[in-house]
Amino acid sequence: MLYFRNELDKTQYSTYQINKAIEVKKLFKVGHGLYSDEEFVNPLKIILKKYPNAIFTSDSAYYYYDLTDVIPDYFYLATKRSDSRINDKGIKQVFIPNELFDFGKTKIEIENVKINIYDEERMLVELIRKKNLIPFDYYKEIIINYRKKADKLDIYKIQEYISYYKNESLLYDTLMREVF
């Protein structure tokens, strides 16, 4: 289990006692102010503990949904535009307008950890929106994998997500031409 320093204080751990517990391997320091009773902690658990409201998006989501076999160099996390900046070299933060933040938010289990992630339909809309910012081969690989599961996607959800953007008809045309 993971604990912040202030959570350890509640269980009567002084700095001295924490250092002693680390010395005898009863407790392990896994990050700044973050401790665990396990020596090796899944990075997803650490991210979930540090950023409980963040949602996995972009390359991370495509990888977790098996739409690509490219392992992302970073964990891509979406946060509200009004949230604080994440200063972690292993995380790329994507700021989402507050009114669009919760659309498509779901939970899936990855490596025995339940994470917040945008659903496949929302990620498809984001892929189409950011088409020109993504390397062509990477985009093509993801689109091909979306085509394979097109019959399992909820078209009504996709239409709803597209309706929140200014260039709604262009997005819809691109989606129909490339996926369905």
Average pLDDT, the chain: 93
What's the whole-number mean pLDDT along residues 95-106?
95
Q: What is the pLDDT of residues 43-75, one digit of tens each?
A: 999 999 999 999 999 999 999 999 999 999 999
Backbone angles phi, psi at 13, to 5 degrees: -95, 115
Q: What is the pLDDT of residues 112-159, one digit of tens each?
A: 999 999 999 999 999 999 999 999 999 999 999 999 999 999 999 999
| Burial zone of 129 (CB within 10 Å; 0-12 exposed, 13-18 middle, 19+ buried) | middle
User: Binning pLDDT at 50, 70 and 90, where does residue 11 land?
Assistant: low
For tokens 């292993």, what's the residue? Answer: 90
In the chain, where do the E strands start and end?
Answer: 2-4, 28-31, 34-36, 55-56, 75-80, 91-96, 105-110, 113-118
- Residue 103 tokens read as 């659309």
The packing angle between helices 120-129 and 136-148, to 10°, is: 150
pLDDT at 12: 67
Amino acid code (one letter) for 112: N
In the predicted model, is pLDDT for residue 77 greater than 90? yes
Tell me the whole-structure pTM to 2 decimals.
Answer: 0.91
How many CB atoms lie under 10 A from the CB of residue 39?
Answer: 9
Edge to edge, the sheet with strand 28-31 lists: 2-4, 34-36, 28-31
